[in-house]
Amino acid sequence: MSNLKNTLREKIEAWRPRTKMLLEEYGNTVIDKVTIGQAIGGMRGIKCLVTDISYLDPNEGIRYRGYTLPEVFKLLPKPKNAEMPYVEGLFYLLLTGEIPNEQEVLDLVDEFSKRRILPRYVYEVIDAWPCCSPPMAMFSSAILAMSRESFFAKKYKAGINKNEYWDPMYEDGLNMLAKLPEIATYIYAKLYREGKRIVGNPNLDVGANFAHMMGKAKPYDDVTRMHFIIHADHESGNVSAHTAHLVGSSLSDVYLATSAMINGLAGPLHGLANQEVLRWLQEVMERMGGEIPTEEELRQFVWDTLHSGQIVPGFGHAVLRKTDPRYMVQREFSLKYLADDPIFKYVDMLYRIVPQVLIEQNKAKNPWPNVDAQSGVIQWHYGVTEYDFYTVLFGIGRSIGIVANLIWDRALLYPLERPKSLTTDMLEEIAGIKEKNLTHELGDD
Ligand SMILES: CC(C)(COP(=O)(O)OP(=O)(O)OC[C@H]1O[C@@H](n2cnc3c(N)ncnc32)[C@H](O)[C@@H]1OP(=O)(O)O)[C@@H](O)C(=O)NCCC(=O)NCCS
């Protein structure tokens, strides 16, 4: 058994009594009340999910296992001649809560490398898509197809003890994570490089190998590491993480749950916003004939977008109430490497203008930029200009947190997720604006 798996087994055994005691002795303790506004309004802020992998503070931003992003980037081991840490090290941290040492990371680099080869049929599934298909749909289908490899599904069928559920989930999770860069770069080659694929190099870590398969020189390896690390997790309530948790709660395998989460990530209010930012910026540039606009011209463009009933992509957040630290990590990188890039100059100007406009409009609860406002611009700078592909990159990163969560969901035996719904009549009765209507009792599933 690998060192990581042994470490994880010890952690799980130590953690289980905590969950058990909370459930058995404090199960009726009230956390929060739910309002009608929350029930209709997308369940904003209802505290009804548990994860120890990350926590999103509205004013501070994300912490992975208690560490802020600057701490994560400082503490995780880095490859030689690299500015950004190993992606594999982040997975170790998310899974165990511990900062790995160099050897522990290298063991994991080796594990990922051994598990990265794709079954033949995955290429065939991707090849079966007609040209110009949406990359996220292709990505989701390739992951879904691999459900036939699931150890968890096989073990479940054979009658595994539920205390051991997490073990085949771990195997499935590592197998899938190791393959995602191969799948993504194959999709990229098929859609944008006339199928000319660059075969992976088993001697490289995830970040360097991804850069290699994309045909990109340094520092794209560091861009990749940074990108995958900052997108890995954002606690459990966001659409992608929540979808994976929900689907996984029916004991679906890692592939089924991850494919579903990719579908949620593909929406423009969530992960797709990173490519929407680029599309929107292109419109600005076109209108300006490629010239850098004045602040006044850009302000007008933002207002035009809002007046036409559209959102400004890359700004606002359902939980955060300040500038996203994931945006700041990328901004620091961009100030160092992209400062003279005209498209970065646009983004820099937006950073100063959009919040003022959104504050003036007085609708968005958070006028500040989120992770998506900056990530596409960095990809563009390094020659990945096919912005339809950007959400696939987000999807690889997010899968790291998804897998860590799914393994712990199984380890702590979190049950089937099944909240209760009400009818509008019932809400009106609760609000006291309508008499109780006894004909509207609900049946069960
Ligand atoms: C992220 C997002 C979906 C959060 O939604 P939310 O929790 O409902 O946000 P709020 O409570 O602040 O929304 C209140 C109002 O402000 C609007 N608003 C929020 N962010 C906005 C933005 N960037 N541009 C224009 N309007 C915005 C909402 O559409 C809503 O309008 P409505 O009352 O007419 O429906 C939203 O901010 C958004 O659409 N942002 C742009 C897309 C994006 O960048 N997504 C990636 C998030 S990481």
Q: Where in the chain is the domain with CATH 1.10.580.10?
A: 1-273+389-445
Residue 227 a catalytic site member = no
The three-state secondary structure class of 422 is coil
Query: Where does 249-294 have alpha helices with state H?
Result: 254-265, 273-287
Which run of H or of E encompasses 305? helix 295-307
pLDDT tier for residue 206 given thresholds of 50, 70 and 90: very high
The number of the ligand 1 atom at minimal distance from the alpha carbon of 314 is 44
Greatest Cα pair distance in the chain = 71
**pLDDT (tens digit per residue) in 349-382:** 999 999 999 999 999 999 999 999 999 999 999 9
Give the pLDDT score at 136.
Answer: 98
273 C-alpha to ligand 1 centroid (Å)? 11
> Mutation test of ligand 1: which of 270, 315, 356, 366 has the most ligand atoms closer than 8 Å to its C-beta?
315
Rounded-to-integer distance, Cα 434 and Cα 77, Å: 61
Judged by DSSP in three states, 243 sits in: helix
Considering the four listed CATH numbers 2.60.40.1080, 3.30.2450.30, 1.10.230.10, 3.40.630.180, the one that applies to the domain covering 274-388 is 1.10.230.10
Neighbours of 121 (CB within 10 A): 13
Q: What value does the mean pLDDT of the chain take?
A: 95
pLDDT of residue 442: 53
Choice between 132 and 215, residue whose per-residue pLDDT is larger: 215
How does pLDDT run across 236-262, given as a tens digit for each residue? Answer: 999 999 999 999 999 999 999 999 999
Catalytic site includes residue 317: yes
- At residue 346 the predicted structure's pLDDT band, cuts being 50, 70 and 90, is confident
Tell me the two tokens of residue 262.
Answer: 């990719």
Q: What is the pTM of this model?
A: 0.95
* Annotated catalytic residue within 167, 227, 317, 409: 317
Residue 330 has pLDDT above 90, yes or no: yes
What pLDDT sits at residue 302?
A: 94
Q: How far, in Å, from the CA of 29 to the mean position of ligand 1?
A: 33
269 CA distance to ligand 1 middle (Å): 8
Which residues, other chains included, contact 353 with Cβ-Cβ below 8 Å and sequence gap of 6+? 295, 298, 299, 302
> What is the DSSP code (8-state) at residue 369?
B
Question: Which of the residues 212, 227, 231, 270 is marked catalytic?
Answer: 270
User: pLDDT tens, 186-205?
Assistant: 999 999 999 999 999 999 99
Q: Which atom of ligand 1 is nearest to the CA of 312?
A: 24
Domain with CATH 1.10.230.10 in the chain: 274-388
Q: pLDDT, tens digit, for every residue of 68-112?
A: 999 999 999 999 999 999 999 999 999 999 999 999 999 999 999
For domain 1-273+389-445, give the CATH number.
1.10.580.10
CB 277 within 8 A of CB 314: yes
CA angle (131, 133, 135) in 5-degree steps: 120
pLDDT tens sequence across 126-168 = 999 998 899 999 999 999 999 999 999 999 999 999 999 999 9
Report residues whose beta carbon is within 6 angstroms of any ligand 1 atom.
Answer: 269-270, 273, 306, 311-318, 363-366, 370-372
Pocket test for ligand 1, best of 234, 311, 322 (most atoms within 8 A of CB): 311
Report the C-alpha gap between 127 and 187 in whole angstroms: 9
> Ligand 1 centroid to 174 CA: how many Å?
35
Cα–ligand 1 centroid distance for 360 (angstroms): 15
Sign of CA dihedral 249, 250, 255, 260: negative
- Give residue 293's pLDDT: 86
Residue whose CB lies within 8 A of the most ligand 1 atoms, among 233, 317, 324, for a mutation test: 317
Write the pLDDT tens digit of every residue in 4-59: 999 999 999 999 999 999 999 999 999 989 999 999 999 999 999 999 999 999 99
> How far is 127 from 142, CA to CA, in rounded Å?
10
Residue with CA at minimum distance from ligand 1 atom 13: 364
Q: Is the pLDDT of residue 304 over 80?
A: yes
**pLDDT over 70 at 295, yes or no:** yes
Residue 441: the pLDDT is: 52
Question: How far apart are alpha carbons 311 and 308 in whole angstroms?
Answer: 9
User: Distance, CA 317 to ligand 1 centroid (Å)?
Assistant: 6
pLDDT of residue 438: 55
The C-alpha atoms of residue 122 and residue 141 are separated, in whole angstroms, by: 9
